[in-house]
Structure 1
Amino acid sequence: MSPPNVLLIVLDSVRARNTSLHGYHRETTPVLDRFAEGATWYTQARAPGVHSITSHVSLFTGYAVAQHQATDHGVSLESGHTIWETLAEQYGYETGLFTPNSIVCESSNLADFFDYSVGPKRRIEAFPEAISPQDISGDPSYVEYVAECLRDDRPLRSIWNGLARLTESGSLAHAPSKEHGGIYADELLEWVDDRTGPWAACLNLMDAHYPYVPADEYDRWGGRKLRAIRDDVPDGPLVNAGFFEDRPWWQLAVLETMYDGCIRQADAHVGELLTGLRERGAFDDTLVVVTADHGEGFGEPSVVSPSARLVDHNWGIDDVITHVPLVVKQPNQRKGETITDPVSLAAFPSVVERTLEGESVPSFVSDEPVLTTCYRLEKPDESLSIPRAEQEPYLGPWHARYRPVEHGVETDVHHRGTEMTVHSPDPRSSYKRSRDPPGDSIESTIDALERVNVVAGERDLSDDVETRLEELGYR
């Protein structure tokens, strides 16, 4: 019997509490809800980190963030540590990556560990053979750019590229017509059609990522008036959009309605992909893992540090950012199962290898501690638009360790030398709970982890990629 295919679907920025799978009052994930009926649903999955780079490195390598400490968006990993390389070199798989996520496919070298990759499509030039603004170092003025174009062999085409960039202001962060999940799902299916042996693929969908712009057909809870409020929020990182100064916080909460439509959109594209696999007779033969790399904050006060507001996914350790959906279908699985123990996405490589070794239903449940770590803002930083003297509640590192209890999950949290316990009885509720300290501190758990040397260095990023990261809220 031929080995099963492997498909990892990452719904970027989708938090568990806003999915109908987890009881949300809006039907945001009808496809995932139905998919879970014949798969294994982990109700208490936790992201290893709160940023794309940290969580994806953990997903790909199996290491906790505190072990690999690959936290920079331009990180370069050493070869030989990812499950994709293992599948290709030891099991003969062809591997593919499909994503508009600049961090996964451009700024870091994670795409290098796949045989084939499809990356961002935003701002593809009409005349790629001519000059474009990103080809000129620095920040040239219009006059300087035109002068450079006139020296080129294709002056008119170069000028056209510049004009296209000028009229596309703000679209580095999001290009709905070019980069919705359906585009990448279709490309993955086309790639599958050309495979003759076992394949393994990662599909990262950015539909629910900031700036939360769903297509009209999925904008069920937004509408014209709420879109007008969304359009009033300045382009660029949400942390610099004025919410910490004079912009009312309720406007950020309004964006959650747009976000819900984006989740519905991503969910629909997952459905298109799964339908495509069924039509090709590949669904039953594929290990399918659907999850998210982290959640999202819409101005909620942090349970751990109540004076800090959770915005986007920049800092903190609260469930709105760490609790993510996780549904896993083993090859030929028909019967649904629900697992309530806390699990980490870092178990993904182990689950894949145990599936290939013939284990009937390998689980994400592990004897290893379930951990989330955030090193963001370890010292006052200008990226947060509040006075440096007031940034203490936002500073990391943040560490969390999750334990099952009779009703929900308890989280031991370490933040800036303080340890506490947070009780989460359901996906929408969390509160601090006084109790005797655990047998060992979180700090001791982190210190006991074996550090792994997977980081080779940091890559030099082009001005274009730097701008994309900034407009996505990462710089």
Structure 2
Amino acid sequence: MGRVSKPNGRSPDLRAREAYDCWGDGRVRTLQADLPIRYEWAFYGGDRPYWQLGALESLYNGGIRQADAVLEHALKSLRSRGELDETLVVVCGDHGDGFGEPGRVPNEPPAVSHVLPRHEELLHVHLVVRPPGGATGERVDELAALTRFPAVARAHARGDSPLCGFTVDRALALKQPVTADLRKRFERRCDPVEAYLEPSRAGYENAPNTSGAVRKHSYWGDRRVTTLVHAPGVVEHHEPVEPETVDRSFRDGDDGRDSVREPLAGRQPDADVEAQLAALGYY
């Protein structure tokens, strides 16, 4: 199994800027260069206005254009070697990024980068699948989750066609408690800081009687909301449920498939790995 990963999609690589950066300009590149790798505190702490994030989005467009070119090269290489029809191709993202979009839950911070909020801009990512042998093309509007990837890959390795692919009955998302160094950074930069430290969870399910929509129950601290997500950016508000209803979903996973894994003692990143992750903006 091979993997092509572009870990920093915030802008085209410097050597590829001329070919792919069709939307940014010198002012935007200077803005990005002046920001630290972890720049969310510059905005949450009030040092930078949120509107500047919209300028950074133009650089992301160039990063997407470069990622498309990398994918095109990979698929052409597989086809030229006669291996494409023997390959399961999955194109996905691990998360989206925020450019100052407001939260759906009262007191939820705007979406900046990809650390805190439970915004759709962060959780609703692309997923394109080409099975071995190809397919006629089908758009799936049901709830899907990348957690299905191991089961789908194993099924194809056995020569089986997975019955449900990446679709699921429900999906869960949570913000782990902000602790240790991350909490200290928020406390140093944000006043008041309470909104950034609130517990938050979200549960998704296919919306009954509403074709192509997904229902999301979520809370941020003691505020809660229920929404119908019809498409990216098309969200309809409904009567919220109690936080206990959302929490119950995290406890009632069937066969452990939906259970939330807690960090295990002795299996945390060592100092070298943390340094590498910090260079990519994850610490």
TM-score, normalising length from structure 2?
0.83
Q: For each residue in 1:320-378, what CA deviation from the matched residue of structure 2 results, as whole angstroms up to 9, or x when unmatched? A: 000000011111023101110011110111112222344335411234x2122221526
Which residue, out of 230, 235, 240, partners 1:430? 235
Q: Is the 8 Å Cα contact of residues 284 and 331 (structure 1) preserved in structure 2?
A: yes
Which residue, out of 297, 307, 311, partners 2:98? 297
**In 2, Cα distance between the equivalents of 1:258 and 1:212?**
11
Asked if residue 342 in structure 1 is aligned to residue 143 in structure 2, the reply is: yes
Residue correspondence of structure 1 range 72-471 to structure 2 within 5 A? 200-209=1-10, 215-231=17-33, 233-241=34-42, 244-360=45-161, 362=163, 363-367=165-169, 369-375=170-176, 377=178, 381-384=183-186, 390-405=192-207, 406=210, 408-434=213-239, 437=241, 441-449=245-253, 450=256, 455=264, 456-462=266-272, 466-471=274-279
Q: For each residue in 1:241-274, what CA deviation from the matched residue of structure 2 results, as whole angstroms up to 9, or x when unmatched? A: 3553232222121000101110111111011111
- Could you say which residue in structure 2 is the equivalent of 1:14? none
Partner AA of 1:413 in structure 2: S
Give SS of 2:65's match.
Answer: helix
Structure 1 stretches of 5 or more lacking a match? 1-199
- For residue 299 of structure 1, report the CA deviation from its aligned partner: 1.6
Cα 1:372–1:448 shift into 2, 3 Å: same
- For residue 312 of structure 1, report the CA deviation from its aligned partner: 0.7
Partner AA of 2:197 in structure 1: L
- For residue 386 of structure 1, report the CA deviation from its aligned partner: 5.9
> Which protein, 1 or 2, shows the higher relative CO under an 8 Å CA cutoff with sep ≥ 6?
1
**How many residues align structurally?**
270
Structure 2 stretches of 5 or more lacking a match? none
Q: For each residue in 1:88-143, what CA deviation from the matched residue of structure 2 results, as whole angstroms up to 9, or x when unmatched? A: xxxxxxxxxxxxxxxxxxxxxxxxxxxxxxxxxxxxxxxxxxxxxxxxxxxxxxxx
**In 2, Cα distance between the equivalents of 1:467 and 1:283?**
37
- Could you say which residue in structure 2 is the equivalent of 1:129? none
Q: For each residue in 1:436-464, what CA deviation from the matched residue of structure 2 results, as whole angstroms up to 9, or x when unmatched? A: x48x81111112234568834223213xx
Identity rate, percent: 29
**In 2, Cα distance between the equivalents of 1:272 and 1:296?**
25
Cα 1:210–1:253 shift into 2, 3 Å: same
Partner AA of 2:226 in structure 1: T
Partner AA of 1:459 in structure 2: P
Give SS of 2:184's match.
Answer: coil
Cα 1:392–1:453 shift into 2, 3 Å: closer
**In 1, Cα distance between the equivalents of 2:80 and 2:29?**
37
Q: Is the 8 Å Cα contact of residues 204 and 214 (structure 2) preserved in structure 1?
A: yes
Partner AA of 1:474 in structure 2: Y
Q: Is the 8 Å Cα contact of residues 45 and 190 (structure 2) preserved in structure 1?
A: no
- For residue 403 of structure 1, report the CA deviation from its aligned partner: 2.2
Q: Is the 8 Å Cα contact of residues 378 and 397 (structure 1) preserved in structure 2?
A: no
Cα 1:411–1:324 shift into 2, 3 Å: same
Cα 1:242–1:427 shift into 2, 3 Å: closer
Q: Is the 8 Å Cα contact of residues 11 and 62 (structure 2) preserved in structure 1?
A: no
Write out the 4+ residue segments of structure 1 that deviate beyond 6 Å after TM superposition.
210-214
